[in-house]
Structure 1
Amino acid sequence: MLPRHHDPIVAIATAPGRGAVGIVRVSGRDLSGFVRALLGRSLVPRHAHYLPFTDAQGQAIDHGLALYFPAPHSYTGEDVLELQAHGGPVVLQLLLARCLDVAAQALPGLRLAEPGEFTERAFLNDKLDLAQAEAVSDLIEASTEAAARSAGRSLAGAFSQQVEGLRERLVRLRLLVEATLDFPEEEIDFLEKADARGQLDGVRTALQALLDQAHQGALLREGIRLVLAGQPNVGKSSLLNALAGAELAIVTPIPGTTRDKVSQTIQIEGVPVHVIDTAGLREATDEVERIGIARSWSEIAQADVVLFLHDLTRLGQTDYDAGETDIAGRLPPGPQVVHVYNKLDARGLPPGLPQPHVALSAKTGEGLEALRRLLLEQVGWHAQPEGVFIARERHLRALRRTAEHLARAHDHARAADAALDLLAEELRLAHEALGEITGRMTPDELLGEIFRKFCIGK
């Protein structure tokens, strides 16, 4: 541990603003003396005590509940004191200041907690592994019910258990390889007798299944960045309103009505979809509209999926078709582009349209359900939320690195003159990459990157 991890810490553990209840949390190695100095009495562990919280003159700041959790049976694994008072900002700040004042004599070194430091200590004291610790933040930030349930499964250890199961299988495989390297005189036909190839294939198959599940979990956490693009007056704002079920964007027959992006988060089967309506793409002379169009192209470049809207009633018009060709030629190769033919209520579909495409009417709602299904297919969503755990891009990168090392290990194992030293090294690297997910192999700078994004009280 770093020296700062030994300091006692204190923070307001509830969200900023007014509420019925607010919590001030203290964590440290031995808080018994501090508790007596602050509250004037000892507390029975894990019992709620109703009492006054007093200032230096003995006047009551508030009356509330005090709970004391001695180590190791606490959230952080250290002694933890929680003061539950009325949730006014002034009251909580007074309690926080009182804790710091009392600590000058009774708990030297007490300082304000950094973002995520309570959960970081839970990780460092083996109360949670790293994937579970991240799930605490993901549960707080979940934007859909499915995301919250999946974060709860990760917090309960569903993801970690699968990762650790794979690590255990790799450990057994590494032991066999390295035993053969250590005792070559035994002439153990390792690859045949131990069925190393079969074991390695089994690990790779299980890893691929886990990677697929993690991808589903990452979609639940991050959502889909969906950009509506096209010429002016093709129905982008109408489609945003139809998807959101509310009048979020102004809709008029005047070209160029949308000058800047309009964003809204919706959900499809529990997956958050961040829908961004952009300014119509065309050659503009108005400076404000030109800035809006430049921002439209910037959003398109960052999209997971681009819905390229076409106006069925204008197909075949020379100027309109020329604009379609120009936009299509400038779309970046990265995002997946779905062609959406709008105003189906006014005109039928011509033959020979590009794939993938969907026809709809943003005005009547016809075709919206087909669009929702196609969007999920485009990003690879197929799991049911009940079986998904939350995952992050960091986890996906670690799993992909693991798969790459195992693929190279597979090549070495299948070679006629198998290089067992190279095979052993690839297995070791795969083992370490998996360990980064749960924190078995985690550099300090990665911990700082993860926990600084938490709120202060966690």
Structure 2
Amino acid sequence: LAQAEAVADLINAGSERAAQSALASLRGVFSQAIGRLKHKLVDLRVRVEACLDFPEEDLEFIQREGVEQRLLEIQAGLKETLLAAQQGAVLRDGLRVVLVGAPNVGKSSLLNALSGEEVALVTEIAGTTRDRIIQEVVLQGLSIHVVDTAGLRQTQDEVERLGIERTWQEIERAQVVLLLRDASGAIAIDHELERRVLERVPAVCQVIEVNNKADLLPVDRPSMASFASQNGVGSGAITISSKTGLGLDQLRARLIEIAGLSEQPASGVFSARSRHLQALLQAQAALLAAESHLHQHQLELLAECLGQAQRYLAEITGEFSADDLLGEIFGSFCIGK
């Protein structure tokens, strides 16, 4: 099933790197990784289920240490597969990056700087951007959907107010929010407004504080340090100048890091969809619960969690029936023959 989905992903790939990941899935890299995990899970379930169903048999292989080691190996393999799948999903769908801040902090200038072209109109008049502007930027094979938004402020202008409402909508669906400030100090930081932004971002959204217009600061380190101390700027903030390009490489590197592409999984990257990620995360949670039950010697609950993990993985590549498991038990251990 994952390979069939990869055909569509290959056709719709937005970058060469996305196409390569889709091709890897089409060749079975993802399915094979899931298959290896399922095989190890079946082997572990066989041992646990045999101990439960046939307690009179002297099954020395059910020793706790052996089961725990196998479980830890499965968890490690699943973690590696999840990392690769997360990267593949980002390559497939892209990263939605929303520029947020007060009017005239340089959101449109940053959009133009990242895209390398004059996409958005830039003027000294506050409120120039009244509607969102979405521009695709490809960075190291990663498709980034940069969203310029209307500056957040109180206004009586009906058109601008509607644009600001769309800004809040974009904040609520963002994967990354770039929270822009004016490093020159010409526009005061509205901490209450920033607090509201942080309340509206999704739980999985990353927020990067960006101090723009650094070109307007005196060329000395104390001036930036003074701005940070006076305005409560976090140590992880990035100082940039959309005009000169200062700090843009650091910002790009942070986006690549957030996308997870700075770490290369051993299995390589393959195309994945949101349903795949959901199934992998559910399987991971089931294995963590299984480990807890193992430590408490609750073999019935351990077996149930292992079965859940296997079913979640089966959603990615296909079904697995109880008859298959019974066949493994009787075939491997000669029980009941």
Q: TM-score, normalised by structure 1?
A: 0.64
Q: Is the 8 A contact 1:240 1:249 kept in 2?
A: yes
**Structure 2 partner of 1:160:** 31
Q: What does 1:274-289 align with in structure 2 at a 5 Å threshold?
A: 274-289=145-160
- 1:423-442 pair list within 5 angstroms: 423-440=302-319
2:293 corresponds in structure 1 to: 412
Q: Secondary structure at the match of 2:71?
A: helix
Other-structure match for 1:402: 283
Distance 2:193 2:299 in 1: 54
Structure 2: distance between partners of 1:340 and 1:194: 50
Measured in 1, the distance between the counterparts of 2:180 and 2:53 equals 64
- Which residue of 182, 187, 197 maps to 2:68? 197
SS in 1 for 2:215: coil
> How far is 1:157 from its partner?
0.3
Moved more, 405-414 or 159-168: 405-414
Residue 414 of structure 1 deviates from its aligned partner by 1.7
Distance 2:298 2:130 in 1: 62
1:133 aligns with 4
Structure 1 match to 2:325: none
Residue 142, structure 1, aligned to residue 23, structure 2 = no
Q: In the alignment, residue 365 of structure 1 is paired with which amino acid?
A: G
SS in 1 for 2:56: helix
Q: Are 2:209 and 1:339 equivalent residues in the alignment?
A: yes
Change (3 A) 1:258 1:193: closer
Please list the CA deviations of residues 103-145 of structure 1 after superposition, one character each: whole Å capped at 9, or x if unmatched: xxxxxxxxxxxxxxxxxxxxxxxxxxx1001111111111111
Is this contact kept in 2: 1:263–1:274, CA < 8 A?
yes
Task: Output the CA distance in 2 between the equivalents of 1:250 and 1:441.
Answer: 56
Match 1:261 to one of 132, 151, 155: 132
- Write 1 or 2 for the structure with the bigger share of strand: 1
CA distance in 1, matches of 2:72, 2:52: 21
Match of 1:328 in 2: 194
Offset, 1:313: 2.1
Partner of 2:236: 356
Distance in 2 of aligned mates of 1:387 and 1:152: 12
- Given the alignment of the two structures, is residue 296 of structure 1 paired with residue 167 of structure 2, yes or no? yes
Q: Does 1:381 align with 2:247?
A: no
Is the 1:338–1:355 Cα contact (8 Å) retained in structure 2? Answer: no
Structure with higher helix content: 2
Identical aligned pairs, as a percentage? 48
Equivalent residues of 1:220, 1:271 under 8 A apart: yes
Q: Max radius of gyration: which structure?
A: 1
- The number of residue pairs the alignment matches comes to 306
Long gaps (5+) in structure 2: 218-222, 322-337
Deviation, 1:333, is: 4.6
Cα pair distance change 1:301/1:193, threshold 3 Å: closer
Counterpart of 2:300, as a letter, is D
Deviation, 1:381, is 3.1
Structure 1 Cα separation of the partners of residues 268 and 50 of structure 2: 38
Q: Considering only aligned residues, what root-mean-square deviation do their CA atoms show, in Å?
A: 1.9
Query: In structure 1, how many angstroms separate the alpha carbons of the residues matched to 2:53 and 2:195?
Result: 60
Which structure ranks higher in relative contact order (CA pairs < 8 Å, sequence separation ≥ 6)?
2
Asked if the contact 1:215/1:396 (under 8 Å) is kept, the reply is yes
1:228 paired to 2:99: yes
8 Å contact kept, 1:260–1:292 = yes
Mapped partners of 1:272, 1:291: distance in 2: 28
Q: Unaligned 5+ residue runs, structure 1?
A: 1-129, 443-458
Aligned partners of 2:276 and 2:316 also within 8 Å: yes
Instruction: Give SS of 1:185's match.
Output: coil
Per-residue CA distance 1:420-441 (angstroms, 9 max, x = gap):
2222221111111111111236
Match of 1:8 in 2: none
TM-score by length of 2: 0.86
Aligned pairs (5 A) from 1:65-80: none
CA contact (8 A) 1:216 1:383 kept: no
Distance 1:411 1:219 in 2: 32
Counterpart of 1:341, as a letter, is: N
